[in-house]
Amino acid sequence: MKTEQQYFEEGRPLAVYMDEMTTKKEQSFHVYESFTVPADDEFITRLSESNVHILGITEDWCGDAMMNNAILRKITEAAGVEVRVVLRDADTELIDRYLTNGGRSIPKYLLLDAQGQVIATWGPRADLVQEYVMGEKAKLPEAGSEGFEEAQRAIFEELTTQLETNKDFHLATYSSIREAWFTKLPS
CATH number of domain containing 69: 3.40.30.10
| SS3 call for 86 | strand
Q: How many domains does the chain have?
A: 1
Q: Is 146 exposed, middle or buried (0-12, 13-18, 19+ CB in 10 A)?
A: exposed
Q: What is the pairing mode between strands 108-112 and 53-58? A: antiparallel
C-alpha–C-alpha distance, residues 157 and 159, integer Å: 5
Q: What is the pLDDT along the chain (187 residues), one digit of tens a residue?
A: 999 999 999 999 999 999 999 999 999 999 999 999 998 789 999 999 999 999 999 999 999 999 999 999 999 999 999 999 999 999 999 999 999 999 999 999 999 999 999 999 999 999 999 999 999 999 999 999 999 999 999 999 999 999 999 999 999 999 999 999 999 999 7
pLDDT at 41: 85
The pLDDT of residue 25: 97
Domain containing 47: what range? 4-184
Residue 185 pLDDT: 95
- What is the 3 state secondary structure string of 3-26? CHHHHHHHCEEHHHHHHHCCCCHH
Residue spans of alpha helices (H) in 12-111: 14-20, 25-34, 42-49, 63-79, 92-95
| Pick from 65, 73, 171, 47: nearest CA to 108 | 65
Q: How many C-beta atoms lie closer than 10 Å to residue 15's C-beta?
A: 13
Q: Are 177 and 122 in contact (CB under 8 A)?
A: yes
